[in-house]
Amino acid sequence: MLYQLLIINKAGGLVYQHIFPQTRAGGTSAASPSPNSNDFLMLAGTFHSIHALVAQFSPVADSSGLRVLESSHFTLFCFQAPTGTKFLLVTIPLSGLQSASSVISHHVTQTGRTVPTSLHSGPPNLHAVATAAWREIYLAYGAFVARDPFHVPEMPIRCSRFDAAVSRIGQRASSGIY
């Protein structure tokens, strides 16, 4: 469900990248062409610029910039921390997952009013999964990166415990735990 995680510092530099292993229905690993380091660096700089432009020229006051970028091949979610660090999660396409029919449950109150109580759909809500995964990643970032006395802010992240936590989060997201 998750393809990649990119972390971009507030200056637009790529400080972390993680490619989640993809598995097919039979449990075999799916090979996909992997971008090289230069591709990731260009993506980080380009996204940072587009994010700033969207925030500046948005018709909505106090826009926080680009949050979701959807294509037919992937969906990119951008979560920005209060420090300006951007966490980009590249996932499966949003349209393919959420095009399934949804059913709204209703509850009748004592006054006879019908109130929608929940939205149930066959496949999981990709935005909710991405948000839950981001929260877990952000907690791991705070626990293993921000508290590391040897880590210099705004510099590349080199932390094996953070790598292991991100891998576990990706496995849980792929198995449908979120």
DSSP-assigned letters across all residues of 73-106: S-EEEEEE-TTS-EEEEEES-HHHHHTS-EEEEE
Q: Percent of the chain, pLDDT > 90?
A: 40
Mean of the per-residue pLDDT values of the chain = 80
* Residue 107 confidence (pLDDT): 40
Give the tens place of pLDDT for each residue, 135-170.
999 999 999 999 999 999 899 999 999 999 999 999
pLDDT (average), residues 100-127: 47
Which of 147, 144, 124, 126 lies closest to 136 in space, CA to CA? 144
The dihedral built from the CA positions of residue 117, 78, 10 and 7, taken in this order, carries a sign that is positive
Give the tens place of pLDDT for each residue, 10-20.
999 999 999 99
* Residue 121 clears pLDDT 60, i.e. is over it: no
* Residue 16 confidence (pLDDT): 96
* Residue 27 confidence (pLDDT): 52
* Residue 76 confidence (pLDDT): 92
Q: How confident is the model at residue 99 (pLDDT cuts 50, 70, 90)?
A: very low
Q: Residue 6 in contact with residue 51, Cβ under 8 Å?
A: no
Residue with tokens 């106090």: 62
Could you tell me how many residues make up the chain?
178
Give me the DSSP letters along 40-71.
HHHHHHHHHHHHHHHHHH-SSTT-----EEE-
How far is it, in rounded angstroms, from Cα 174 to Cα 168? 10
Give the tens place of pLDDT for each residue, 22-51.
765 555 455 556 778 888 888 888 988 888
Q: Residue 60 in contact with residue 74, Cβ under 8 Å?
A: no
Please, what CATH class does the domain formed by 2-175 belong to? Answer: alpha beta
pTM of the full structure: 0.77
How far is it, in rounded angstroms, from Cα 138 to Cα 134? 6
